[in-house]
Amino acid sequence: MLSPGAASGFRLDGRTALVTGAGSGTGRAIALELARAGARVVLVARTRASLEEAAAAIEAAGGRALVRRCDVTDTQALHALLAEVAPLHIFVNNAGTNIPRGFTEVTDADLDTLLGLNLRACFLAGQAAAAGMLRHGVAGVILNVTSQMGHVGAPERTAYCMTKHGLEGLTKAMAVELAPRGIRVNSIAPTFVDTPLIRRIAVEPRVRDALVARIPLGRMASEREVALAAVYLCSGAAAMVTGTSLLVDGGWTAQ
């Protein structure tokens, strides 16, 4: 009789996963795939309607989902939420934003928004998630969603690149510190993903072609491709992987 195949190593049965920014885009896709792998998923974002839609999609696929409206920049509310859903086995730090603007045109407000959500909130959310895992004796996983722009530079993305490079550094430092306590920390760094937001930005063929021209595989990533990479990092299949960044970038940063 054959032993369980490699696919069993990707299962997440009996685990609770919380995904921030889960109402749309890659956050929603990650939540869906974690649920398909067997996890009970807590969906977090600021807009309840989008969360309800995401939960319905998960439940239609046979998964289990809880909806919790929360602004991750509200540290007190986030701490209360994490206490409510504990013990947590997987925490996906996905909420983030971008404000493309030339370097000399970046305003104080732009900078505060990007630093507040992409860095400060991710730091404090990861800190709270790790503290909860340690308190409950959980050998958990924290996954920070960064970007290929956390590894390279790009015009009109100075502030965004700064925050994503910072999040990559945070990932490494968290991983080294938490490894002896059994918590793994990694990041996933996608290229441009074919989402409704990107389709609105790249509505003109010339804009879309210019983005795709930088990707050696010749296309944008799909939401599911990013989500499946996230499932791997959150699963036992990646038990020896910590402190690393998985680039789902079609070869962008290899150039």
pLDDT in tens, 40-81: 999 999 999 999 999 999 999 999 999 999 999 999 999 999
Please say if the pLDDT value at position 133 is more than 60.
Answer: yes
Structure tokens at 73: 């920049």
CA nearest to 244, candidates 192, 179, 196:
179
Among 23, 118, 160, 223, the one annotated catalytic = 160
How big is the CA angle at 25 (ends 88 and 176), to the nearest 5 degrees? 45
Dihedral over Cα of 111, 116, 117, 118: its sign = positive
Contacts of 225 (CB under 8 A, 6+ apart): 248
CA nearest to 19, candidates 226, 175, 239:
226
Match 């190593």 to its residue by tokens.
Answer: 9
Spell out a b/e string for 207-218, using b for 16 or more CB atoms within 10 Å of the CB, else e. ebeebbeebeee
* 160 catalytic per annotation: yes
pLDDT (mean) for 104-127: 98
For the domain that residue 232 is a member of, what is the CATH number? 3.40.50.720
Is the separation of the CB atoms in 151 and 245 below 8 Å?
yes
Residue 242 in domain: yes
Neighbours of 173 (CB within 10 A): 11
Residue 116 in domain: yes
pLDDT (0 to 100) of residue 67: 98
Q: What is the pTM of this model?
A: 0.95
Domain count, the chain: 1
Residue 7 in domain: no
pLDDT (0 to 100) of residue 2: 46
pLDDT more than 70, % of the chain: 97
Among 15, 89, 164, 165, the one annotated catalytic = 164
Dihedral over Cα of 29, 32, 36, 39: its sign = positive
Residue 131 in domain: yes
Residue 55 in domain: yes
pLDDT (mean) for 128-150: 98
pLDDT (0 to 100) of residue 5: 60
pLDDT in tens, 140-196: 999 999 999 999 999 999 999 999 999 999 999 999 999 999 999 999 999 999 887
Residue 202 in domain: no
**Residue 45 carries which side chain, given as an amino acid letter?**
A
* 232 catalytic per annotation: no
Residue 59 in domain: yes
Burial class (CB in 10 A: 0-12, 13-18, 19+), 205: exposed
Domain extent at residue 85 = 12-193+223-247
Residue 4 in domain: no
Burial class (CB in 10 A: 0-12, 13-18, 19+), 41: buried
